Structure 1
Amino acid sequence: MAKVGEGDERWIVDDLGAQGTNVNSWHWQEKDILPWAKQRLQELLGDLSIADESGEITLKTGSGVSVGGDAIINNRKKKLIPSYELEVKGTWTGSVKDSGPAEGTFTLPYIADENADEDPELKVAVTGDSKAAQQLREVFLTRGKQLVHERIQGFVKEVQAGGPSPAQQQRPAQGAAASSASGQDSQAAAKFREEELTRQKAAAAAKRKAAEERERARDRAPTATVELSERFYARPADLYECFTNVGRVQAFSQSPAQVEPKVGGKFSIYGGSVEATFTALQEPSQIDMDWRFRNWPDGSVSKVKLTLEELQEGVTVLNLVQKGVPKEDRYGNGEVVENTTHGWKQQIFHRIRAVFGFGL
């Protein structure tokens, strides 16, 4: 991600002067929200109380949550465009009735704008290998994970809304310390379960609403179709393997790749810049995929159809039709169709010809 001040200098407005105005937020402006993000994540993830259904296994996260990375809000044409990559680390302590105490650490290694719609990975480690430590870790990875993910979902929504607000800055951390003092007795455990259930229902409702809004926005967004026809001096089976054999994909892309040649299997190249799923395979004549680039708007997925036709022995024509290509990426840049066309020609077709000798 671009750090503060690393955006395209043609669009970033640092100082409009005493008389200047940024009418309708037309110019690109950046706001560093990392200090707020650190404070907010400490509030949300510090002093969390977690318990199993019986109330006999209880744990609590420490208040000293550390946050590293970068977080900025870009604003252009009244669009708020968050860009962030954060790593969160914290500690926890807990106890199991009749087994004793234990402690450990937790880590959220990657909270970023590119996976805003996904629950981030949660790693939980323990100090020692006692039975109590393993029981506490298991509770953290089940009941605790749900709570952590709900808090992160709330944080992401706040970032997408522009980050800190005056009311929020004055508001103390919510819910973290409410049940910490009496977590071991059954009354506190019951209260915790009730609060957690309420949070889960609210989070599920918010998630459904957000998904519906993304779906509506995606349907309204203007899209285009890319159509290309390329000739290769190769048999259809050879070209088919260039998209379904991980060794061949890594050879022409010169980068790690993920290729699972089955319906529902994943296809990813260039460090995840391209993310796709196979939807139909007819060896060696047709490949269908749901295809998107990482910088496309959330929920934007195009339909790719590759057909391979051998005009004469050793000469194959590849026809590509890609429907649903957005006309703007998530940052408001309007060259998506041109970049997509150029990417197919230069980063895929040209490289396949050059690497495998299928003609230039």
Structure 2
Amino acid sequence: MAKIGEGDARWIVSEREDGANVNAWHWQEKDVLPWAKVRLQDLLGNQVLADSGSLSLKTGADVDVTGDAIINNRKKKLIPSYELQVKGTWSGEVRDGDTVESASGRFELPYVADENADEDPELKVSTSSDSAAARRLKEAFLGSGKQVFHEHMRTFVKELQAGGPSSSAASSKGALELPETDAAIKAKAEASRRELEAKKAAEAARRRAEDRASTGRVEMTERFYARPRDLFECFTDPGRVQAFTQSPAQVEPMVGGKFSIFGGSVDATFTALEAPSRIALDWRFKNWPDSVVSKVVLSLEEPQEGMTVLRLKQTGVPKEDRFGNGDVVESTAQGWKAQIFHRIRAVFGFGLGM
């Protein structure tokens, strides 16, 4: 034990002439806010959030980052301390046939901090107008776009916890590396930007492929002032089919038989025929992606004499056609109603009951 007034050498950190910070014993700080601004610009700027036939959405090029970001080093242990606010803009288009509506707005991550590092930060999205297109784009941003944002923010936090701008935050002597030069930061940012652009392109291609591969369904119920057999024959008798379609038709009413209408725009095959109550077909449109075939089932019931209820169920309808146009499910439903059911009522006088 040391005497009063004397220090025990084991507990004294002696001054060193070489000024080395042995084993990073002393607390050190490094300001990484410049790196954070560049990195968040790379991750969130010019980000494609949606790109389909009916809707496209992306963030603006400039991302504003304010606040503080520091890496602390204590005995080679990195402790990030940060509190940031991130703001930017977005723009997009909604397409409906030949009609294109544009809208824009702003996004904000009001509080990105070390205390909520394990949570996805709050995302606020605003629009510059109250149009239908703006509302739809905002919903897309807060839907699939939000997932993309949170994925990139998790990447940012992981890199920050690993030391930010340096892959190795401590030198061989345990001290933090010197801040990178502006040129080095720009070069690294450009490399990261190119890598991110390649990832964005790959992700956009993957989403387009998923959109083309994803399917929806059409279900509707129609009422006719007719007997079930009358309606059954509207889909199995070639003369009746040609009468309401007003175009050449190929109808072979047998399992495996052909059903082609509207000049080949519809190419189908009968898979079940149960007169007069049920018809099933493998059904596709000419403009659908290759090999995509939907399943159609028409069920006919007569709850009261002289009135038939037709129930349509169609599954496996692609959400995009082979040209990248969206809203295929909606246009398919409208086609059934306007081009088939309404024509059957009008040509054969089966009434307009719905």
Bin of the TM-score, shorter chain as denominator length: 0.3 to 0.5
Which structure's CA Rg is the greater one? 2
User: What TM-score does the superposition give when structure 2 sets the normalisation length?
Assistant: 0.45
User: What TM-score does the superposition give when structure 1 sets the normalisation length?
Assistant: 0.45
- Which structure would you say has the larger RCO, counting Cα contacts within 8 Å and 6 or more residues apart? 2
